[in-house]
Structure 1
Amino acid sequence: MDALSYVSFQHVELSYGRHQIYRDLHFDLEDGQIGAVYGPSRTGKSSVLLLASGNLLPSKGEVQVGGKKPDKKRVGLGPIQDLSPLFDTLTVEEHLLFQARLHHVRKAKERVSELLNTYDLEEVRKYRVKDIPHLEQFRTGLATALVHQPKLVLIDEPERGLTNEEWEIAYRDMRDLTEAGSTVLLTTVLLQVAERCDLVAQLPEGEVWTR
């Protein structure tokens, strides 16, 4: 792993039974960068986030975050479509409080209030997530990942449902995180999103490029 790398995938293979998702995924994402896992649906993009979060183990190869094995407690994993969606019955505020208590955050209510203010969610705090606009849904997912102040933030298809103007706001939110010292790894099906990132790992080929 390069000395500057924060997220490192070293010749990672992932298989489910006889089905091989990818064979030799290899990339190093530097501290303070935005990385994208880019490709069409059903190529294993979300699995990369699960590997980086420690929720999934590679069949072969090695994944490191900050020079160590991935640890669920040290990363912020946002909602993954069709796998860990936001709960329809909970309000925005309830989501954040649930995550704060799950991570044993001290002064949970104060931390939640801070996030609601940071991401302009005060007006929708009592609304169920399914009833709020897409930009607020993205920001709720981002705040959910950030509640315990992790250094690595993992976001699944942040562009989903957003207009071009809303995407610019979402992108600025993520850039603000990296400028404050965090690292962001996201998935996307859109080339125009991938091209805004510092590093891109393309699936299923495994090709990696930087800008």
Structure 2
Amino acid sequence: MRRRALLLLPLALLLGGLAPSVFADDGWKLEKDADGIRIESRAVPGWKIHEMRGTVQIDAPLSAVAAVIDDASAIPRLNDVVAHAEVVQRTSATRYRIYAAMKMPWPVSDRDIVNQREIKLDPATHGVTFVDTAVPDAETHKDYVRIVKSRQEWRLTPTGDGRTDVQIQLLSDPGGIPSTLINAMSVSSPFNTLGNLRKLAAQAPYAGAKPAFLATPPSSASAGR
């Protein structure tokens, strides 16, 4: 049971399913503060699963950090439970869908998800927000349990000295997995993911990279809040 729980940790990263109003800055409880990474949790009315928030300052420009998150093929390196991820539909540089397949330990069924990604640019702060929301998809795969309720938000803010403040906020309900298990093991997943993001942003091909949407004129890109 302990091994099964440990293998399930990264699943929480992909999932959510909350209204935007849930992202208010209140009720947070510090769970872990180590290696420059801070992880918090809070209870959400109507939910048995806790909402999680992780923050870190990365010694890399926003363009490099954004390049990692923008690269769907990098998701398995951010989240160990993801076996495969790819863009399946692209409307623009700031709007596209990502399919991800997750290999789960027996006896838990493997899962997959289709996320609608929206990227918002803030011309005032030069910050970038990635919002991933699960959507029902007409084509499903018989070997996977489809996740249809999910929301995850990345917020990137440049510090002005070549570094980037990063925040990830998520709420998870994978379905079929006890909420007590998710809550007990949910701290390690965002903690490890932020650590992986920090490493990848300093490596090729991301160091020095600039995603296409950062070159998009503000009038053509999604405006930030």
TM-score w.r.t. length of structure 1? 0.28
TM-score w.r.t. length of structure 2? 0.27
